Amino acid sequence: MLLLFLIPQPGWAQGSRLWDETALWAEFIYTLRSWEKGVWVITPAFRTDEQEINTTFVTRVTTDATFALPKEWEVRGRFFLIGHGTELGEVAFDQRIQIFFRKTFFRSDDLRLRMGFFYERHFRGDAIPDFNVYRTRLEFRGDGFRSQPWAQQDFFFDHARGFFRTRTRVGLLWDLGRSRQLRLAYQFQYTQDRGGSWGPQHAIVVRYWFGEQLSWRAVN
């Protein structure tokens, strides 16, 4: 019900973007090093689902470190190096830094509820000025079930558009043994592009953990 109030109505979406075109987001997440209360990973990725004007694809490499803090808090710092394909056949680069704080508000043998806040600074290499993006996240996980239910709700804001995206993911996580896991989820996303057009995207999210060090995720 909350989404029905937050999503603009279809009549608002006017523009040339084909929002429900086939799109792909694939990435590998590799653990470079882990500590008792921290982990450092690197993630190369390829995307065609970026809802930006004059963008044909996105390749990016991110690296981030996450550390556990007292009282069920954790913090993550991340750096992005991003290449955008343009309609002229060129590639434009930009960078981002992200800081993410998350706290577990409720935990039992069966359930876990967490809430987080993202701050991102986008350093653009094109005609768009540098800007900030803010995101809030609410995450639910059923740890005590054989097929662990999992849900995630994000809301995105920036200085120019205000609220510009909502993203919902709902799925299940299976423990396959030997540190292998499989997650399948449905994603619904509604976004306002930089031309002011609103549109939906529907996707299936797949993530597979090969072990403790390497996992693969695809959204399409």
Residue 175 forms part of a structural domain: yes
Range of the domain at 204: 23-219
The per-residue b/e assignment along 74-106, b for 16 or more CB within 10 angstroms, e otherwise, is bebebebebebbeeeeeebebebebebebebee
- Annotate 119-178 with DSSP letters as a single string: EEEEE-SSSSPPEEEEEEEEEEEETTSSEEEEEEEEEEEETTTEEEEEEEEEEEEEEEET
Cα–Cα distance for residue pair 114/17, rounded to 1 Å: 34
Task: Return the pLDDT at 7.
Answer: 38
Q: Which CATH number belongs to the domain containing residue 164 in this structure?
A: 2.40.160
Phi-psi region of 111 (alpha: psi -120 to 50; beta: other; left: phi over 0): beta
Q: What are the distances in angstroms from CA 162 to CA 51, 52, 132, 171, 208? A: 16, 16, 11, 29, 34
Question: pLDDT of 87-141, one tens digit each?
Answer: 666 777 889 999 999 999 999 888 999 999 999 999 987 677 899 999 999 999 9
Question: Looking at residue 50, what is its pLDDT?
Answer: 58
Count structural domains, the chain: 1
Q: For the residues 36-55, what does the mean pLDDT come to?
A: 80
Give domain status of residue 160, yes or no.
yes
Beta-carbon contacts of residue 152 (< 8 Å; ≥ 6 apart): 137, 138, 139, 140, 167, 168, 169, 170
- Domain-embedded: residue 14: no
Q: CA nearest 220: which of 184, 181, 178? A: 184
In a domain, 12, yes or no: no
Is 171 a member of any domain? yes
Q: Does residue 157 lie within any of the structural domains?
A: yes
pLDDT over 90 for what percent of the chain?
Answer: 60
Residue 59 confidence class, pLDDT cut points 50, 70, 90: confident
165 falls within a domain: yes
- Domain-located, residue 3: no
Structure tokens at 156: 């995105």
